[in-house]
């Protein structure tokens, strides 16, 4: 099977972010004074554990970013854009049932009329096509699940132990959480080979697969937004604080106008207009995936355009303070050019504010995506995200008996991601904030 790689817009931006991240990491590693606050982050067990959880999410997100299209016969491409993650999770993706089924169930969730072996019509729960094949009844299912949990956990623990030995992990909290995560991974993997671990949704798709796919959308919303926020806030904030005068007035005017509009309304207005533009230009996208993807990128850009004002104000204030410092005054009296003062003396000294604000914003952006999708100005309805999952599952709560697993998985995954991001952000802030006393 041959394939061609596909780079969607969001993929390109993610690659850009990853490259920037790696470059920054290399730069920081070479400079001891930049490394120091990161060492403080490394001392906190909470930070390391949350980083571990985050890196699991990041791994799934990155695997889901490597897109490709399968080459069919005669040099034609399949219209479906797949990712490496889709390939790895192929059983999950392709095992589509008829409709709802509960987690680890072997039958559908509602009774249907069927013909039994004697040709009579009976009402019973139909068996699932792909879950619990060869299992006869619930008791046998329980035994099989217990066996799989056992072997999965054992394999996971072995793998985790191996990683701990290889990477020489010394912190106990990290080692324990690594073992827990790998055990959980092993159990889920082993169970998902034979069951729908988190059930299936209305159209029979595996909820675990959907939840894992949602991770990428959340990560992109949280990180690509940075690409807009960062340059705007940095250039405008530093320029306003350093040059003062009319530059300051103009920049202050722009961000006061933007921030005086309630953000949800501004986002809604911008997204509505984006929808009109995309509907009137259908020629911009060749596949449904690229259309949904472009909408995601635009959404991130719009979120960035509306959220840079806070950081800009902070940076302006800090620059106002810095420009009166003696070392800047000294540089000025030596005749150092403004550009050089800005790039050598001011920007490096406001970096900690940028870093803190970016990591703090990440989690709120992930949460905002769900709300915006509910309001109807979020990602494309065809794109898998926490917001669209919640939106689709919201009305299922009114069913009797209640279908809870789609909502529970979406909220569960989102909570894990956001909690880990929040805890990590707190540690970063504690390590970088110069206002905190440290001995």
Partner 1 sequence: MIAYLIRRMLYAVPILVGVNLLTFALFFVVNTPDDMARMQLGIKRVTPEAIRLWEQQKGYDKPLIFNRGASGTGKITETIFWQKSASMFWLDFGYSDDGRDISREIRTRMWPSLAIALPTFLTGLVFYISFALVMTLFRATLLDAAGVALCVVLMSISGLFYIIGGQFLISKLWHLVPISGFSGGIQGFRFVVLPVLIGVISGIGSSSRWYRTIFLEEMGKDYVRTARAKGLSEIGVLFTHVLKNAMIPILTGVVVVIPLLFMGSLLTESFFGIPGLGSYTIDAINAQDFSIVRAMVFLGSLLYIAGLMLTDVSYTMVDPRVRLS
Name the residue nearer to partner 1 (CB basis): 256 or 343.
256
Min dist. Cβ of residue 322 to partner 1 (A) = 22
Q: Which is nearer to partner 1, 195 or 386 (CB)?
A: 386
d(CA 414, CA 92): 20
Nearer to partner 1, 227 or 377 (CB): 377
Query: Which residues, other chains included, contact 206 with Cβ-Cβ below 8 Å and sequence gap of 6+?
Result: 92, 93, 95, 96, 192, 196, 198, 200
Min. distance of Cβ 39 from partner 1 in angstroms?
23
Return d(Cα 222, Cα 205) in angstroms, integer: 26
What residues line the site for partner 1 (CB under 8 A)? Answer: 253-254, 256-258, 260-262, 264-266, 268-270, 272-273, 275-277, 279-280, 282, 363, 367, 370-371, 374-377, 386, 390, 394, 397-398, 402, 407, 411, 414-415, 418-419, 422-423, 426
CB contact set of 332 (below 8 Å; sequence gap of 6+): 341
In the complex, what is the shortest distance from the CB of residue 155 to partner 1, in angstroms, rounded to a whole number? Answer: 31
Integer-rounded Cα Rg, in Å, for the chain is 26
Q: Please check whether residue 313 is in contact with residue 251, taking contact to mean a CB–CB distance below 8 angstroms.
A: no
> Which of 201-222 are b and which e, b meaning 16 or more Cβ less than 10 Å from the residue's Cβ?
beebbbbbbbbbbbbbbbbbbb
CB of 297 to partner 1, least distance (A): 17
Q: Nearest distance from residue 313's CB to partner 1, in Å? A: 13
Nearer residue to partner 1 within complex by CB, 254 or 320: 254
Q: Tell the smallest beta-carbon distance from residue 31 to partner 1 (Å).
A: 31
Looking at the Cβ atoms of 131 and 302, the one nearer to partner 1 is 302
Q: Rounded to an integer, what distance in angstroms lies between the CA atom of residue 117 and that of residue 428?
A: 65
CB of 431 to partner 1, least distance (A): 17
Q: Which is nearer to partner 1, 152 or 199 (CB)?
A: 199
Nearest residue (CB) to partner 1, 81 versus 302 = 302
- Judge residue 39's burial from the number of C-beta atoms within 10 Å of its C-beta, 0-12 exposed, 13-18 middle, 19 or more buried: exposed
Residues 6+ apart with CB under 8 A from 348: none
């Amino acid at each position: 099977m041959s394939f061609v790689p596909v780079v969607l817009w969001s993929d390109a931006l993610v690659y850009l972010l990853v490259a920037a991240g790696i470059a920054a990491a290399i730069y920081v590693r070479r400079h001891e004074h930049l490394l120091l606050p990161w060492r403080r982050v490394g001392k906190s067990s909470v930070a390391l554990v949350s980083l571990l959880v985050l890196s699991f999410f990041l791994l799934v997100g990155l695997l889901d970013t490597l897109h490709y299209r399968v080459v069919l016969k005669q040099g034609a491409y399949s219209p479906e854009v797949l990712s490496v993650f889709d390939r790895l999770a192929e059983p999950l993706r392709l095992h589509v049932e008829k409709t709802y089924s509960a987690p680890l169930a072997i039958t559908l969730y509602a009774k249907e009329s069927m013909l039994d072996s004697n040709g009579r019509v009976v009402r019973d729960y139909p068996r699932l096509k792909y879950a619990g094949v060869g299992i006869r009844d619930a008791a046998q299912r329980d035994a099989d699940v217990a066996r799989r949990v056992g072997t999965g956990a054992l394999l996971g623990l072995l793998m985790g132990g191996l990683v701990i030995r290889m990477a020489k992990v010394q912190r106990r909290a990290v080692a324990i959480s690594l073992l827990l995560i790998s055990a959980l991974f092993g159990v889920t993997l082993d169970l998902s080979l034979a069951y729908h671990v988190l059930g299936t949704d209305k159209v029979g798709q595996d909820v675990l697969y959907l939840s894992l796919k949602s991770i990428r959308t959340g990560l992109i919303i949280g990180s690509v937004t940075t690409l807009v926020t960062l340059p705007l806030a940095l250039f405008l904030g530093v320029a306003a604080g350093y040059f003062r005068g009319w530059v300051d007035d103009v920049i202050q005017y722009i961000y006061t106008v933007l921030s005086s509009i309630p953000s949800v309304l501004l986002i809604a207005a911008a997204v509505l207009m984006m929808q009109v533009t995309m509907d009137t230009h259908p020629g911009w996208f060749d596949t449904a995936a690229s259309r949904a993807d472009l909408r995601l990128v635009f959404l991130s850009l719009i979120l960035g355009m509306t959220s840079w004002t806070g950081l800009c104000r902070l940076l302006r204030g800090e620059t106002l303070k810095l420009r009166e410092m003696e070392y800047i005054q000294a540089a000025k009296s030596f005749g150092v050019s403004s550009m050089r003062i800005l790039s050598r003396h001011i920007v490096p000294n406001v970096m900690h504010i940028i870093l803190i604000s970016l990591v703090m914003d990440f989690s709120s952006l992930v949460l905002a995506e769900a709300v915006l999708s509910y309001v109807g100005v979020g990602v494309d309805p065809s794109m898998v995200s926490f917001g669209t999952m919640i939106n689709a599952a919201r009305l299922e709560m009114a069913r009797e008996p209640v279908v809870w697993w789609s909502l529970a998985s979406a909220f569960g995954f989102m909570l894990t991601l956001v909690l880990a991001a929040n805890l990590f952000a707190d540690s970063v802030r504690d390590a970088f904030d110069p206002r905190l006393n440290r001995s």
